[in-house]
Structure formats: C-alpha cells, structure tokens
Amino acid sequence: MAWTLITGASEGLGVEFAHIAAKEGRNLILAARSKDKLERVASDARTAGVEVVVIPADLSDMAEVDRLWAEATDGREIDVLVNNAGLGYNGPFDAGQGWERELSSINVNMLALTRLMKLAIPHMQALPKGRVLNVASVAGFTPGPHMAVYHATKAYVLSLSEAVAEELRGTNVTITALCPGATATNFFEEADMSGVRLLKLAKPMKASDVAELGWLEARIGKRIVVPGAMNKVFAFLPRVSPRALTTRFAAEIMGKH
C-alpha cells in the first residue's frame, strides 16, 4: 500500500489531514519538529488500524528536508504529499525584530515545500497515480502589509502550484493549492497576531472543515481550493480592484487595533 506524507503534522490542519487519511485506511508518515506531539497524533491515527511512521524534522534546514524524504521513502511508496508545514510573523518589515522568524518562514514555506515537490513528483510518476496538496493561503492573492514576508511566501506557493499543475496536466500526478483564510489553529498565536483586525471581521473556520474540503478537492485534482464564502471574496477582489486599493485594505485588516 502507498503512503501519505504530511508535514506540519503535529497540530492544526496537519492533525486534521492525518485524521482524514487514517479514516480512509491510508498509511501515514508524519513530520514536524516536535516528536512528542507527533507521537500523540500517531497514537490516535493507529486506532484506525493504519501504520504510522513518525519522523521529527526541522524543515527550515534543507539538510533536514532531504533527510526526511530519504527516511520517508526507505522501502515505501508515497502517492500523497501534503505540504502543510508553514510559519508566519506579524510585524512591521522595517523593525529590527522578527528576522529569524521571517527567515524560517521563507525556508519552510517556500524552499522546503519546493524541495519536497521536486522529490515527490518523479517518485509519484513511477506509481499508478499521485497527488500533492500544498497549503497556501488566501494571503497569496494580495500583498500583505504587516505580514509582508508571509504573504509573499504564500503567493509563491500559489504561483508554483498552478504552474506545475499545468505542466503535469494530463499525467497521473496532480497539484492542488489549498488557500484557507483565518482558521481556528494556533497559527495566530505563533505568528504574534493577537489583536489583528482580521480576526474581528471574519470568524475563523474550523480546521477540520478546511482540511476536509482541501482533501476532497485534491482527490479530484482541483488546482485551487478556497474554503468559505468570505475567503472567496478576499481572493476575488484583487482581480477587479486597483492593486494599491487592495494593498491598503490588506494593511487595515492585518494591522492591530
């Protein structure tokens, strides 16, 4: 049986993806930094009768990314990759703080995701079928003052996913970009987003609902998935509004009251 590799699997959407895959009877490879958290997720998944392999890895380190893939594919075939790991930071770009977090965001959100895609696609092309689910964000549709680096990384994920999906059109491998908006995970706390106006404008979606939709749409090969009516509006506005206006709007909602 083929396996599912999920990064960022210790919390939030990663946990939900693990639950969904386990319910389908899929064997799992779970990756994140915290071994203890991964083991708890793995223990829950094993109750569904599937095999689970835990591989702790810091994806901000490219050597760790390569190690993860080497260990994950040692005697295993992976036909689903969920690039869920992601980091963010809320704060002014010109501040003297936040650089380490932003550098980690660039490494995890862009470099690690790209490297794993680059390794996974030829691996999957040798199998009957394969799919890659990249967790982007509705933030990828517009520049994001106060979270400039995060928005830029998610724009990269969205663009990369669409481009590679077109390259692979008609093959046995599909690429899907899941673009959620505010989601009820601990991302906001980790990204120092307490007090951000966005959280007053829109109630965060349940992580389970976001993951379920992303998983189902990836299964049929949909290229871009935007969960929630309000998020669809946020994704559509930059197409019809002056870019300066949408950037100003983003600055308002991503700022802190």
β strands within 14-71, DSSP E: 27-32, 52-56
Total Cβ atoms within 10 A of residue 90? 21
Residue of 3, 17, 69, 150 marked catalytic: 150
Identify the sign of the CA torsion 71, 74, 76, 79.
positive
Other C-beta atoms within 10 Å of 23: how many? 11
Closest CA to 106 of 81, 88, 133, 82: 88
| Burial of 245: CB neighbours in 10 Å, binned 0-12, 13-18, 19+ | exposed
- Convert 91-118 into a string of H (helix), E (strand) and C (coil): CCCCCCCCHHHHHHHHHHHHHHHHHHHH
Task: Decide: helix, strand or coil at residue 241.
Answer: coil
The answer to whether 173 touches 235, Cβ cutoff 8 Å, is no
Question: Over the Cα atoms of the chain, what is R_g?
Answer: 18
Q: Is 89 a catalytic residue?
A: no
Q: What residues are labeled active site?
A: 150
